[in-house]
Amino acid sequence: MNQILIVEDEPVIRNALKRLLERNDYRVTEVGSVDEAEAALSQQTFQLVISDLRLPGRPGTDVIALAAPAPVLIMTSYASMRSAVDAMKQGAADYIAKPFDHEEMLNTVAAQLTKSGCADADSQPKPNPAPSREEGDFSMMAGNSAPMQELFSRISKVARTDATVLIQGESGTGKELAARAIHQHSRRAEAPMISVNCAAIPDTLIESELFGHEKGAFTGAVNTHRGLIEAANGGTLFLDEIGELPLDAQARLLRVLQEGEIRRVGSVQPMQVDIRLIAATHRDLKALTRAGRFREDLFYRLYIMEIRMPPLRERGSDIIELAELFLRKACERMATPPRRLAATARNAMLHHRWPGNVRELENAIERAVILCEAEEIGADILGLDPEHHAAPITADQPPGDYGRQAPSSPALSLEDYFQRFVQEHQDHMTETELAKRLGISRKTLWERRQKLGIPRPGRDT
């Protein structure tokens, strides 16, 4: 079983990360400073170190040399992203933004252990069975609505092939879950699935991260670095937000798809790889292609099989099914007495537009469980913004029309609402507060800022 050292001075974050890793069969030691980490490293061998960048006393980058040859994963806020790049130049294996997404953290940890050759069978995420409405691991994809049944059918068909897949859908609809379902039902299920968020890696590092680099290839390349495509050899590479990939990296990725080979940065020797590519985006790739921001030849290589993730507002009674599932899980996780949804809460959820989709629903339920002091959860503690209410839902309404506004209602797109809300409140709310009010993660907030071109105020949140 892999040993992981957490270096984090905030007890809440440290304990949450420890519980997450231990639930996934990792053995964890936690400390609050670099000095404590140095003492722990002198007494025990660790396969991976996860360290905050800003620590009392010495910075987290000091752990890199102390932990060698074990890889060090640096945690930082989006406001300190330049410091994360500097940490990579000092030898950090990777970085992840706080507040971190659980799935992203687990994927990054698994990828680093695989790259370093330390991963073992006991510590690797176990393959999950077929996605179905009863499976907790695919709970975000549960549902009986027509759009979800069509989605399950497509996943089942494409999983049996090695075809490249393009998954399209809004943030929070579960694109990575769909990719994982495809992987786990393919012939590559026993091989690794490596997930990469193209929007979260600076342009200056993306080629090195994907393709690897040789020692001395550029300033700061003190060691040979095995890229994520190489780490996914024999398995699946999932590129989330592929529309953010720089054009130079797109050209190199096209060669991987056409020739099945990569070349590390600074190397003249190509190497063969066998990967299955699954890409995802919330952006219109056709529009990006017309604007010259996405290669047309790569677009057609990706567009072999398209899977569309339906937004939650189109899934009808799936909303209640998901809410009850999240409610049971939240009560178990927080060790609270069982709760139930009041009729007012159900009605409010069915009338809500859910701009943050399933992720927003899960956050709303978790918030309600924390605040609820009775057996029933009412609409008042769900924290749903009344500006996101949609037309009433009727029993005979087609599944695809659930949650859409009536023709007489003033039209307001999700992008319009997001832009207006952020611009009106960002001067007196932190990024964390904005994300909570919108029912999305800070990462999604950052991604939407980039997409819509909304600059952040000149202050550190």
**Which tens digit of pLDDT belongs to each residue from 294-347?**
999 999 999 889 999 999 999 988 899 899 989 998 898 888 889 999 999 999
Is 144 inside a domain boundary?
yes
294 with 321, same domain? no
219 with 295, same domain? yes
207 with 303, same domain? yes
pLDDT surpasses 70 at 222: no
Handedness of CA 11, 86, 198, 448 (dihedral sign): positive
pLDDT surpasses 60 at 122: no
* Share above pLDDT 90 across residues of the chain, in percent, rounded to a whole number: 29
Q: Do 209 and 185 meet the contact criterion of CB atoms below 8 Å apart?
A: no
Which of 161-170, 182-191, 266-275, 400-409 comes out lowest in average pLDDT? 400-409
- Which pLDDT belongs to residue 414? 57
Q: Do 2 and 48 meet the contact criterion of CB atoms below 8 Å apart?
A: yes
* DSSP-assigned letter for residue 456: P
- Which pLDDT belongs to residue 387? 62
229 with 319, same domain? no
Is 87 inside a domain boundary?
yes
For residues 245 and 322, give the distance between their C-alpha atoms in angstroms, rounded to a whole number. 33
Q: How confident is the model at residue 125 (pLDDT cuts 50, 70, 90)?
A: very low
pLDDT surpasses 80 at 140: no
- Which pLDDT belongs to residue 269? 85
Is 64 inside a domain boundary?
yes
Is 398 inside a domain boundary?
yes
**Which tens digit of pLDDT belongs to each residue from 103-119?**
778 888 988 888 777 65
pLDDT surpasses 70 at 172: yes
Average pLDDT score, the chain: 80
- Of 81, 101, 121, the residue at which a domain comes to its end is 101
pTM over 0.75: no
pLDDT surpasses 50 at 461: no
Is 107 inside a domain boundary?
no
- The residue among 429 and 367 whose pLDDT is bigger is 367
Nearest partner of 232 among 412, 320, 318, 111, judged by Cα: 111
pLDDT surpasses 80 at 89: no
- As beta bridge partners, residue 30 has 6
Q: Residues 76-104: what's their mean pLDDT?
A: 69
Residue type, 216: G
Q: Do 201 and 81 meet the contact criterion of CB atoms below 8 Å apart?
A: no
- Which pLDDT belongs to residue 297? 93
Structural domain count of the chain: 3
- Of 310, 325, 342, the residue at which a domain comes to its end is 310
Q: Omega into 69 within 30° of 0, i.e. cis?
A: yes
Q: How confident is the model at residue 266 (pLDDT cuts 50, 70, 90)?
A: confident
346 with 436, same domain? yes
pLDDT surpasses 50 at 224: yes
Q: Residues 62-87: what's their mean pLDDT?
A: 76
Is 114 inside a domain boundary?
no
* DSSP-assigned letter for residue 36: H
The CATH number linked to 259 is: 3.40.50.300
22 with 143, same domain? no
Is 178 inside a domain boundary?
yes
For residues 35 and 38, give the distance between their C-alpha atoms in angstroms, rounded to a whole number. 5
262 with 250, same domain? yes
Is 131 inside a domain boundary?
no
Range of the domain at 72: 3-101
pLDDT surpasses 80 at 142: no
Q: Do 14 and 39 meet the contact criterion of CB atoms below 8 Å apart?
A: no
Residue that the structure tokens 């640096």 belong to: 74
Q: Residues 441-452: what's their mean pLDDT?
A: 76
**Which tens digit of pLDDT belongs to each residue from 16-37?**
888 889 888 899 999 999 999 9
193 with 255, same domain? yes
328 with 297, same domain? no
235 with 327, same domain? no
pLDDT surpasses 70 at 9: yes
The CATH number linked to 39 is: 3.40.50.2300
Reduced 3-state DSSP string for 114-149: HHCCCCCCCCCCCCCCCCCCCCHHHHHHCCCCHHHH
141 with 156, same domain? yes
- Of 259, 285, 310, the residue at which a domain comes to its end is 310
The CATH number linked to 359 is: 1.10.8.60
Which of 222-236, 249-263, 415-429 comes out lowest in average pLDDT? 415-429
- Which pLDDT belongs to residue 415? 62
Q: Residues 261-279: what's their mean pLDDT?
A: 89
Q: Which long-range contacts (CB under 8 A, 24 or more apart) does 76-81 make?
A: 76/52, 77/461, 78/431, 78/442, 78/443, 78/446, 79/431, 79/460, 79/461, 80/53, 80/54, 81/202
361 with 447, same domain? yes
Nearest partner of 285 among 397, 400, 364, 169, judged by Cα: 169
pLDDT surpasses 90 at 200: no
Nearest partner of 6 among 82, 89, 96, 140, judged by Cα: 96
